[in-house]
Chain A
Amino acid sequence: METTEIKEKISDALVSVLGHSNFETNDELTAQDVDGWDSLSHMMIITKIEEQFDIKFKLRDLNKLKNLGSLVSVIQGKI
């Protein structure tokens, strides 16, 4: 899957959990930059992304997530 397509799907997941699209999908985007992406909504976002791509994360994968770029590469490693 193309990086842009993956980012689009991630963006859909974010919008469906957070209810807004006030963010830009560049590689450096972190949770802190996005309104409402906190420790609580994080797990719901992760679940939504798992559903979108039909993949399963491991706890170790989660520790590696530093920004959107690393999320994309973890997803790429799974599909």
Chain B
Amino acid sequence: MLYWLLFKRSAVSQNILLLMASIFFYAWADWRFLFLLIASILINYYLGLKIHNTLKESKQKMLLNLGLVFNIGLLVYFKYFNFFYEGFYKIVNVFGTDLDYNTLSILLPLGISFFTFQTLGYLLDVYNEEVEPSNDLLDFSVFIAFFPKILSGPIERAGSLIPQIKKKRELSYATSVDGLRQILWGLFTKVVVAENCAAIANPIFNNYEDKPGSVLVIGAFFYAIQIYADFSGYSNMAIGISKLFGLQLTRNFATPFFSTNISGFWKKWHISLTTWMMDYVFTPLSFTLRRLQKKGLVISIIATFILVGFWHGANWTFIVFGLLHGIYFVPLVYSGSMNASDIMAKGKWFPSFKEIYKMIGLFVLVMMTDVIFRVDSVAVALDYYKGIFSSSIMKYPASYVTANTLMIVALIGFFMLIEWANREKKHDFEISNYNVYLRWSSYIFIFLLILFFGRSSDTFIYFQF
């Protein structure tokens, strides 16, 4: 309200308000790292201008490297220090020494993986002459710290967000309503779908040792839905809230489970991260290795996906998760069937049997791989798989065939049905073309579902990354 009523005069006043709100928000979430965020903004702002204004290419490169070292250094120190530190001692101790080591207790600054990737992308874009550097510290600060996305993305690009911040935003009825719709859908996805799935999956994962294989499959199923609903719900809310301020963020999920192969899945899953990796890791790497032909592609894909996995955290589980996803691409590279259509059954209501069969196969593959993502160590994941592939997979999971579980399955069914109906649209709940009665009954229905089936939650999975 304040934003549209009192600060409507100019982009500068709108940006001052947004920046104040963002700083307040970040400080409220965790004030200890506010100075780190401010330092990161100032240093990257300065480096961007300096790279652009330097004429000598070698000096430009030096400044870029300085920026890369600073940003990656922040990430490595806060996120990966103990991982490498421990790894170092473990390797040394292989040679018979018995050195003692104590890992440091380093707190992870909120949102660091997200805002550092944004600053990294910014410097690379400026260096590659893809964008002009920002010459306004206020605009640049809003670009990095804008509160709906600072904790968990989407990871924005300078080329798409800074021009929007520069312009004065006009209040638009249609955009605001669309934003509210997206928030409602995101809220439903998070508190109804993700939280109810978590209520089933968590107890199974926490005590997987004494569960039969059939129950472990149920745990893996609900976790796969949970992680999707958790993060896509968050993303829809972040994008919806931004729309209320007249800013359009990047789409982060585009119904990824409706894909027929792994390439289609990753084109629609955490899009702001995968396109980042595509542009700044895969493309340069595959360019360097282009003489190796398909072998070069395979190496580049696997390396990129290991990095995608490792981005999530300092744990071997994430590395193995990335490695496996990279390996899933190999058959596609050799069969040349990468170029799958992005939208399943485009223009039709029903997919073909072949598409359904491939979609289910893909889901099972993703679901099984998500187990590694969920557990604390690779050894636990292997144990979990052993449990699944045992004779107890045939055991009837009586305690899970209850009215409550069936209700949750029905809610997932409803969730997927709406996503399927809107899979060709700009977001999962873009129903502006429905007539007014249908629109309002949908809002009320979803509101009631939230009221009756919603569970409270104090966090999102992706806040830890």
Contact = CB atoms under 8 A, between A and B. Distances in A.
A39 B278 contact: yes
Residue among B128, B130, B290, B296 with most chain A CB within 10 A: B290
A62 B287 CA distance: 9
Interface in B385-429: none
Nearest to B282: A39
Contacts of B286: 43
Contacts of B128: 59-60, 63
- The secondary structure that dominates the B interface is helix
How many interface residues does chain A have, given as a range? 10 to 19
Contacts of B130: 63
Interface in A11-37: 35-36
B382 interface: no
A6 B431 CA distance: 48
19 contacts: A35-B339, A38-B339, A39-B278, A39-B282, A39-B283, A40-B333, A41-B336, A41-B339, A43-B286, A43-B296, A43-B297, A44-B290, A46-B287, A47-B290, A47-B293, A59-B128, A59-B283, A59-B287, A63-B128
Residue among A46, A57, A63 with most chain B CB within 10 A: A63
Contacts of B129: 60, 63
Interface of B: 128-130, 278, 282-284, 286-287, 290-291, 293-294, 296-297, 333, 336, 338-339
Given A40-B297, A44-B290, A62 B283 contact: yes
A44 B128 CA distance: 22
A50 B422 CA distance: 43
A65 B297 CA distance: 20
B96 to A, nearest CB: 45
A57 B290 CA distance: 11
A46 B339 contact: no
